[in-house]
Each structure stands twice: as structure tokens, then as C-alpha cells.
Amino acid sequence: MSEINPQLVKTLRDKTNAGMMDCKRALAECDGDLEKAEDLLRKKGILKAGSKSSRATKEGVIASYIHMQGKVGVLVEINCETDFVAKNEAFRDFVKDITLHIAASSPICVSRESVPASLVAREREIAIAQLEEEGKKSGKPKPANIVEKIVEGKIDKFLAGICLLDQPFIKNPDQTINDFVKSKIAELGENIVIRRFTRYMVGEAIESEKVAE
């Protein structure tokens, strides 16, 4: 895949509501031409996923998965629009893949919007303290605007690591879970939402249980 300007990817994503990797691939195939990339996404049916993202999801399943001989357990609720799709084998396989991913990748929240503000504030405080300590040791403290830019980068990386939708899919690291969801929406023709999940691990302290909604 050729190198594509991240801002161009963001522009296409904002315009089409398609997944980040889908946008990046489309732009690469179209040599960075925004209009052609949008047409390509439409031809592949990926834009259909974006148009369905606001539709109500009142059906679905609650699924469980036990991993490592009972050492790790996952409970997840994934919603769709109709009972017909909820019983569809492709949807059930998708749900299974999501439970496997959660067991293996240990996300904390479904999306960035559901991350507790206190957790972000804590990470920000730690990042600032680390940079200040580095500046003291080197005798060359960084300017405030540079510190803020570095901290924002660290926070972005932190959120990408703990949010399920931002994580690279374990079966296809070139695709995020959000991209995987959108591809399944396009395939099944209904909106799909990962509503919430809980991940348990034997011996894990109660206060650090990974519960998300």
C-alpha cells in the first residue's frame, strides 16, 4: 500500500463514514484522488455501511466465550436490526470472532466515547510528569506546545490500545474492529452495534475488571 497523507484519509472518512483502512486502501488504489476513492468505496458497497449507522438496533445476541481452559471468560452483547439477521450464520460467526478478539486483546471499553474521563486524565498526568522528568535529567525541558503535542500523541496511542473498535483485528491486523464491523454491516445489510462486553480473568483484582458499555 502506497503512503497516503493521513489528513486525506480523515477527509475521506469524514465524508463517507467508511472505515479508516477502507479509506486508506481506496486512496492508495486511486493514487490519492479523493473523488475517485469515494466512487471506489461506493462501487464496493462500503458506503452502505455508513448510511445504516443511525438505524435502530433492537435485536441481536448475548454471547459468551471461555478461553485458556477456564482462565479467561468473555460476555458480549452485539445488536442488529432484525431477528432474522441475529440468527444468520454469518452474524453468529462475526459475534464469535469478536468474543475471541476480546479474550485475546483485553480491551477496556467499546469506544473512545465510553472511556472514563478520569482514566484519560490520569494517563495525561503521567505523560506530562514523564516529559518533565526527562527534561530535568537532560537539562533541556521541552516547550509547552511541544509537550502538549507529544502528550496528545501518547493519549491517542493509549486510547487506540484500550478501545475495542480501535484495536487491530487479531485475524487481520490491517483491519480495525471498527472496519470489521462496517464490512459486516455492508455484507448483511443491517446496522450492527457492539453494545457492551465484560472480560474476566482468574485472579484479576475486582477493581481492575474490564467492564465496558
Q: What is the tens place of the pLDDT at every residue in 165-191?
A: 999 999 999 999 999 999 999 899 899
pLDDT in tens, 42-93: 777 666 555 565 567 789 999 999 987 889 999 999 999 999 999 999 999 9
CATH superfamily of 59-111+163-212: Elongation factor Ts, dimerisation domain (3.30.479.20)
Sequence-ordered strand ranges (E) for the chain: 59-67, 72-80, 168-169, 172-176, 193-201, 210-212
Query: What confidence score (pLDDT) does residue 51 get?
Result: 56
User: What are the extents of the domains in the chain?
Assistant: 6-51, 59-111+163-212, 116-161
Rg (C-alpha) for the chain, rounded Å, is 20
Q: Is the pLDDT of residue 213 over 60?
A: no
| Residue 208: per-residue pLDDT | 41
User: Which residues, in sequence order, are CB contacts of 156 under 8 Å at separation 6+?
Assistant: none
pLDDT score, position 57: 77
Cell 486508506 identifies what position?
A: 24
Class of 6-51 in CATH: mainly alpha
Q: What angle do CA 1, 104, 80 make, to 5 degrees?
A: 80
Whether the per-residue pLDDT at 209 is higher than 50: the answer is no
Domains 6-51 and 59-111+163-212 share a fold: no
pLDDT at 8: 86
Supply the pLDDT for residue 49: 57
CA 183 to chain centre: 13
Residue 141 DSSP code: P
Separation in Å, CA 38 to CA 12, 44, 46, 156, 191: 7, 10, 10, 27, 21
pTM: 0.69
Q: Lay out the sheet containing 210-212: strands in order across.
A: 59-67, 72-80, 193-201, 210-212
